[in-house]
Amino acid sequence: MEKLFETLKLAAKTLKANKLRSSLTMLGVIIGVTSVILLVSIGSGLKSYITGQLEDLGSNLLMVMPGEMEMGSESSGSMPGAGMAAPKFTMNHQKELQAKGVNIKRVMAYTENNATLAYAGKKHITQVAGVTYEYPDIRNQKAVLGTFFNVSQQESAKKVVVLGATVAEKLFGSENPVGKKITLSESKFTVLGVLEKKGALGGNDMDNQAFIPVPTALDTFEMDYVLAFWVQAKSKEQVEPAKEEVKKILLRTLKDDEFSVIDTKGLLSMVSQILGTLTVALAGIAGISLLVGGIGIMNIMLVSVMERTKEIGLRKAIGATPKIIMTQFLIESIVLSVGGGLIGIILGFSGSVLINQFFPAIVTVWSILLAFLVSVIIGVVFGVMPAARAARLNPIQALRYE
């Protein structure tokens, strides 16, 4: 124990004597550990944000999307065909689902298109969603100015629009947009209201949208089909029967592979699977820089053994056993890697906290433990070879080395 402590002191002294070299060597591990922690934090932050958003939708919500979508939990997390296939949903489907579904509370058709909105010389390109009058209830998002469109405006395909907060600000600034006429894809639309802010996810502004009735959207963008349906079941318990009902009704007019019905639970597990895979992949890429850092340590340790050949010879001559020499060099490389790891953890942690001000990032305990463990392992693995080389040196030859 006494000897181990002495070796630790010795290692610290040697590393301090070569400050620049030691810190540059550590830098590799620092960068590796910092990026592992940062990327894992961002991945986990993103996951919990999106999961939270989906949970906001409510647990009794179903989505009907075009194309076939595999929901197998054992799948790789990809979405084969989803969104790729051309939608074949019409407003008749919506009416049919609404009328015949016993377990269905309401059905909302949905379209989305990009369009240019213009008002008084100002132009803004944004996403225009075709929705039904139930949208504010389903998304739990109210109009702060004016109102959302009502059922009669929807049925008669009136050219009315409700703006997201960002769109309203871009086009109108501080002016009240309610009642104003704007140009949307070459037609005049009346602004009915402005929705409350929902916030941004990273660079993706959720308030940068405009909403028009679905029939209006089909007219304006000259489409025959809607993109998707959001189906609300009457209760949580009725989600499964509602799902079966939707399938049964749609199968009368559509083929099996032309649509998929997804519940929020399935969507949640799919999203968390995709983001989980993404996080692991990101951590893996960052892990490569850790590996490079480890190789850097090995390189420097080999140089150090070479440089100190004479010193090693002398230590052996005055009684250092191969084991002591081995421990001495091994501890040096472990101090380098663990030191780098600890600094990396501090940087990764504070970096994540900083990033969290702008973008969801959650520091996970497992990423810190993993990063620390990996840096210890790196110190040992990449230190063993140089240390063994030092321990094996023949004292006579080592003493003669110039």
Give the number of other Cβ atoms within 10 Å of residue 342's Cβ: 17
Nearest approach, Cβ of 379 to another protein (angstroms)?
A: 23
Q: In this structure, are residues 193 and 165 in contact, taking their beta carbons and an 8 Å threshold?
A: no
Q: How far apart are CA 213 and CA 226, in angstroms?
A: 12
Nearest approach, Cβ of 321 to another protein (angstroms)?
A: 4
Query: Which residues inside 308-367 make contact with another protein, applying CB under 8 A?
Result: 310-311, 313-324
Q: Does the footprint of another protein cover residue 388 (CB under 8 A)?
A: no
Per CB under 8 A, the segment of 126-134, 167-175, 191-199, 389-397 that binds another protein is 389-397
Residue of the chain from 3, 100, 122, 181 that contacts another protein (CB under 8 A): 3
Query: Which residues inside 211-250 make contact with another protein, applying CB under 8 A?
Result: none
Per CB under 8 A, the segment of 130-138, 272-280, 354-362, 390-398 that binds another protein is 390-398
Nearest approach, Cβ of 9 to another protein (angstroms)?
A: 10
Nearer to another protein, 23 or 98 (CB): 23
Q: Does the footprint of another protein cover residue 397 (CB under 8 A)?
A: yes
Nearer to another protein, 250 or 390 (CB): 390
Nearest approach, Cβ of 319 to another protein (angstroms)?
A: 2
Nearer to another protein, 88 or 310 (CB): 310
Q: How far apart are CA 172 and CA 193, in angstroms?
A: 12
Could you tell me how many residues of this chain bind another protein (CB under 8 A)?
24
Q: How far apart are CA 21 and CA 308, in angstroms?
A: 15
Binding mask 284-313 for another protein (x = CB under 8 A): --------------------------xx-x
Nearer to another protein, 138 or 399 (CB): 399
Q: How far apart are CA 15 and CA 300, in angstroms?
A: 11
Nearest approach, Cβ of 383 to another protein (angstroms)?
A: 21
Residue of the chain from 58, 77, 276, 395 that contacts another protein (CB under 8 A): 395
- φ, ψ for residue 18, nearest 5 deg: -115, 60
Query: Which residues inside 52-81 make contact with another protein, applying CB under 8 A?
Result: none
Nearer to another protein, 20 or 318 (CB): 318
Q: How far apart are CA 33 and CA 286, in angstroms?
A: 8
Q: Does the footprint of another protein cover residue 17 (CB under 8 A)?
A: yes
Nearer to another protein, 320 or 378 (CB): 320
Per CB under 8 A, the segment of 30-38, 189-197, 345-353, 388-396 that binds another protein is 388-396
* Residues present in the chain in total: 402
Per CB under 8 A, the segment of 2-10, 34-42, 66-74, 208-216 that binds another protein is 2-10
Residues 324, 330, 336, CA angle at the centre, nearest 5°? 140
Which residues would be at the binding site for another protein (CB under 8 A)? 2-3, 6, 13, 17, 310-311, 313-324, 394-397, 399
